[in-house]
Amino acid sequence: MKNKNMMFEIVKKEIRDVIRDKKTLIMMIIVPLLLYPLMFGFIITMEDSMLNVDESEYNKIGFAFDIDKALDAVIEELEIQKVTGNENELKEKFDDGEIDAYIILNNKEFTIYYTEGDTYGQATLQLAYELIEGYKQAIQSQMLIAEGLIPDEIFNVYTVETKDVSGKDAYTEMMLGMVPTFILMTTTLTAVFAAIDMTAGEKERGTLETLLTFPLKNGDIIGGKFIATTICTVISSVIGFLSMYGVLYYLSGTLETFKGMELLTAQNIMLAVIMFIVFAMLISAIAIIMASRAKSFKEAQNTTQPLTFLSIIPMFLSMMGTKLNFTLSLIPFVNVNLLLSDIISNTVNMRYFMITVVSNIVFIFIVMKAVIKLFKSDKILFS
């Protein structure tokens, strides 16, 4: 067998080993194909049902004081189901779940009793605030009219109008921003499992020593393991992307929040695949160098655990509405996450795309140099 074919033989051998390993296979295919999309879809569906809940679920409010005409008009306008009684009676009904909140009035001070941890607690509180504010404005209007003043001229000295030019719902943007995190988590876990099996796993099984009895160079071993890990990771990321995007597109036809979501263009799909390949190469190289230092499979799992947390951190930036800029496009993990968010939203900036790709390639080169140096050490190979 010629040396130039050795690396590809190692790649085939490593791929066969991965296919035989149930844990890695599940993480590479089953999790991105089923678990994460179902979990993500469940979260979105639950959140959407909370946002679009019928008002009748939280509008039963008790009043422990006499209701005048002004307050009654506001109650009717807000379609509140009023319940009257003394404080003790209302407390009992509140505890039994017959009402969602109740209000008492002492010396011109309103006190709202509600349950923060209740499913619709915040919605009930917001409704009660609207009621009181509406009542206050009605009383103030009566007082101004009594003085011969026109309330509209007092309350509406200035008016405010807002226009959202983004054309997208903030909640939808936040959910779309979470998609890359789910994909990168699966991608990272696949790279970690594959790298551990190809390094620490081989040490434990004793197959690495057998492999070294063949006329192989260290470069063939490193290259074979790196390519095999990258292939597994790319497959996982593409499956994750297609399944997650499929769930989103399906929900766009069923949930109000995602209606009108645009399909990705062919260009953006290509850009996403390029990013998956680049990220797969980077995370594979990092996973290999971390797992290779471990003496056992268990130690390798503990050593590579921080990589999973690294893939989650960028999600918080996306949820806060952080957009990719020149500085962030130079930071590994963060740049890929934010760029994928832009790709999914069809708002990708090609300048930042190129910077992200180049910066990740530089990091891949640096990490691979470290891997080559590491594998030159017999201590690492036989520890």
Q: What is the pLDDT of residues 345-355, one digit of tens each?
A: 778 889 999 99
Q: Kindly give the residue spans of alpha helices, DSSP state H, lying in the chain.
A: 3-20, 22-25, 36-51, 69-77, 87-95, 121-146, 151-155, 170-198, 200-205, 207-211, 218-251, 266-292, 297-319, 334-344, 350-375, 378-382
Residue 213 per-residue DSSP state = T
Residue recorded with tokens 């009793």: 113
Who has greater pLDDT, 312 or 366? 366
Cα→Cα distances 298→17, 304, 312, Å? 18, 10, 22
Residue 344 has pLDDT above 70, yes or no: yes
Query: What percent of the chain has a predicted confidence (pLDDT) above 70?
Result: 83
Cβ neighbours around 39 below 10 Å, total: 13
Cβ(323)–Cβ(338) below 8 Å: yes
pLDDT of residue 84: 92
Who has greater pLDDT, 376 or 341? 341
Residue 128 has pLDDT above 70, yes or no: yes
Strand partners, 109: 106
The span from the CA of 59 to the CA of 278, in Å, is 52
pLDDT of residue 378: 56
Give mean pLDDT, residues 33-59: 74
Taking only the tens place, the pLDDT of each residue in 65-75 is: 989 999 999 99
Who has greater pLDDT, 122 or 351? 351
Chain centroid, CA 131 distance in Å: 36
Q: Give every CB contact of residue 72 below 8 A, 6+ residues apart in sequence.
A: none
Strand partners, 83: 62
Query: What percent of the chain has a predicted confidence (pLDDT) above 90?
Result: 22
The span from the CA of 208 to the CA of 192, in Å, is 18
pLDDT of residue 74: 92
Instruction: Copy the structure tokens of residue 336.
Output: 């890929």
- DSSP characters for 238-300? HHHHHHHHHHHHHHTTT-GGGTTPPPPPHHHHHHHHHHHHHHHHHHHHHHHHHHHT-SSHHHH
Residue 166 per-residue DSSP state = S
Taking only the tens place, the pLDDT of each residue in 201-221 is: 777 776 665 666 566 676 777
Give mean pLDDT, residues 324-330: 89
Question: Does domain 55-155 match CATH 3.40.190.10?
Answer: yes
Cα→Cα distances 116→61, 64, 103, 125, 132, Å? 15, 20, 15, 9, 19
Q: Is the pTM higher than 0.75?
A: no
Question: How is the chain split into domains, by residue range?
Answer: 3-50+170-382, 55-155
Residue 2 has pLDDT above 60, yes or no: no
Instruction: Copy the structure tokens of residue 63.
Output: 């009043």
Across 74-83, 96-105, 186-195, 292-301, least confident range:
292-301
Instruction: Copy the structure tokens of residue 120.
Output: 């619709």
The span from the CA of 380 to the CA of 203, in Å, is 10
Residue 178 has pLDDT above 80, yes or no: no
The span from the CA of 214 to the CA of 221, in Å, is 11
The span from the CA of 85 to the CA of 240, in Å, is 56
Across 65-74, 143-152, 249-258, 278-287, least confident range:
249-258
Give mean pLDDT, residues 272-300: 86
- Mean pLDDT in the chain? 81
The span from the CA of 317 to the CA of 338, in Å, is 8
Who has greater pLDDT, 330 or 251? 330
pLDDT of residue 334: 87
Out of 67-76, 111-120, 178-187, the most confident range is 67-76
